[in-house]
């Protein structure tokens, strides 16, 4: 890793949506830096633009203007196919509603991203990697279960295994505990911390819940399309007071 450059660097990102001939600015010049190995929480109320920022960070969307440096590569204006390849190789996603394939086993769910990877992976290797990932998230004995047979926490762990199957450097988690009770929430969050510490995976948590954000080393607050406070300590304190 380059010491002088962050893993993710946004420079003056602007995103404007056109709704019925009206330009609606959502992000009004966001600049952030996230280094390799960080566990960052992206906080903001609904409508603050945090989802949009998350989509741009996750390469699901393109900014209207600004630069996005990912791993020393400018990717703000990549085509849809190039972004798809980048997502497949370098990013993992965990969603609030798990988004598992119904009526497919946990193992099938986890191997799914491999079928879109550019390099060929044999079925055997894919199964092996998936079962490794599932054991890492503690679901070794649940590999053949379908999502409907798993609890919410287990489903989210399958989703995490799926996100990590391509060994991406970054993991995006969009309200990962939104559908979970506090106990399983803690389990999942602990898993994130563990992955962050043991494997050095950069994790970006998007949340509006201060209790979730408390697990992060740094909190980036966004309000009204602008970064309000990027300082780790102060935000943590603020979250703690709440």
Q: How far is the CB of 119 from other proteins (least distance, A)?
A: 12
Nearer to other proteins, 20 or 80 (CB): 80
3-state secondary structure of 154: helix
Q: How far is the CB of 168 from other proteins (least distance, A)?
A: 10
Nearer to other proteins, 116 or 190 (CB): 116
Around Cβ 213, how many Cβ atoms within 10 Å? 25
Nearer to other proteins, 165 or 219 (CB): 165
Nearer to other proteins, 6 or 94 (CB): 94
Around Cβ 32, how many Cβ atoms within 10 Å? 18
Q: How far is the CB of 229 from other proteins (least distance, A)?
A: 26
Nearer to other proteins, 18 or 241 (CB): 18
Euclidean distance between CA atoms 58 and 55, whole angstroms: 5
Give the tokens for residue 26.
């959502």
Q: How far is the CB of 130 from other proteins (least distance, A)?
A: 13
List interacting residues with other proteins (CB under 8 A).
Answer: 55, 58, 60-61, 80-81, 84-85, 87-89, 93, 95, 97, 99, 101-104, 108, 112-113, 115-117, 120, 162-163, 166
Give the tokens for residue 108.
């099938």
Q: How far is the CB of 49 from other proteins (least distance, A)?
A: 14
Task: Describe the crossing of helices 182-199 and 152-164 by its angle, rounded to 10 degrees.
Answer: 20
Q: How far is the CB of 113 from other proteins (least distance, A)?
A: 4
How far is the CA of 105 from the CAs of 58, 139, 147, 149, 155, in angstroms? 26, 12, 7, 10, 11
Nearer to other proteins, 205 or 239 (CB): 205
Strand order from edge to edge, sheet including 73-74: 22-34, 8-19, 65-70, 73-74
DSSP per residue, 168-232: -SEEEEESTTTTS-HHHHHHHHHHHHHHHHHH--EEEEEES-HHHHTTSSEEEEEETTEEEE--H
Angle CA(12)–CA(13)–CA(14) in degrees, nearest 5?
A: 115
């Amino acid at each position: 890793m380059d010491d002088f450059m962050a893993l993710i660097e946004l420079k003056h990102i602007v995103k404007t949506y056109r709704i019925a001939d009206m330009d609606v600015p959502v992000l009004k010049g966001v600049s952030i830096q996230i280094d390799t190995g960080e566990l960052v929480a992206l906080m903001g109320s609904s409508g603050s633009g945090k989802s949009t920022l998350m989509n741009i960070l996750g390469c699901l969307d393109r900014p209207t203007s600004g630069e996005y440096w990912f791993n020393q590569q400018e990717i703000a204006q990549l085509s849809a196919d190039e972004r798809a390849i980048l997502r497949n190789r370098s990013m993992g996603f965990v969603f609030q509603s798990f988004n598992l394939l119904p009526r497919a086993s946990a193992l099938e769910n986890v191997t799914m991203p491999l079928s879109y990877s550019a390099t060929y992976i044999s079925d055997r290797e894919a199964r092996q990697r998936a079962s490794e990932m599932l054991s890492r998230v503690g679901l070794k004995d649940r590999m053949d279960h379908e999502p409907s047979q798993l609890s919410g926490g287990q489903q989210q762990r399958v989703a995490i295994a799926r996100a990590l199957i391509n060994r991406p450097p970054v993991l995006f988690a969009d309200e990962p505990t939104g559908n979970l009770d506090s106990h399983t929430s803690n389990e999942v969050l602990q898993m994130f911390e563990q992955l962050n510490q043991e494997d050095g995976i950069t994790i970006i948590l998007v949340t509006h819940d201060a209790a979730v954000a408390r697990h992060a080393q740094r909190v980036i607050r966004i309000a009204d399309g602008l970064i309000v406070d990027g300082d780790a300590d102060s935000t943590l304190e603020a979250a703690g007071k709440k």
